[in-house]
Amino acid sequence: MVVFINRESGESWDTKTVLQRWTSLFTGPLLVQRFLSGVSLDKAELLRVEEFAEEYRSRLLDISWFMRCLNEHLAREANKEDGCKGRFWEGRYKSQALLDEAALLTCMAYVDLNPIRAKMARTPETSDYTSVKERATKASGGRLRKQHAHLKPLRSQGQNPETAIPFALSSYLELVDWTGRIVRQDKRGSIPENLPPILDRLKIDPNEWLKTMSWNNQFRRAVGRLGALKAYAKQSGKRWLHGMCCSQSMYLQ
SS3 204: strand
Biggest alpha carbon–alpha carbon distance for the chain: 71
Domain that holds residue 131: 97-250
Number of domains making up the chain: 2
Calculate the CA dihedral of residues 118, 119, 121, 123 and round it to 10 degrees: 100
Same domain? 109 vs 23: no
- Beta strands 222-223 and 97-98, pairing class: parallel
Residue 152 lies in a domain: yes
Q: Is residue 120 a contact partner of residue 245, using CB atoms and an 8 Å limit? A: no
* In a domain? residue 82: no
Residue 77 lies in a domain: no
pTM for this entry: 0.81
Question: How do residues 120-129 score in pLDDT, each as one tens digit?
Answer: 888 888 888 8
Separation of alpha carbons 111 and 104, rounded Å:
11
The tens digit of pLDDT for each residue in 173-229 reads 889 988 888 776 555 545 555 778 888 888 888 888 888 887 766 788 899 999 999
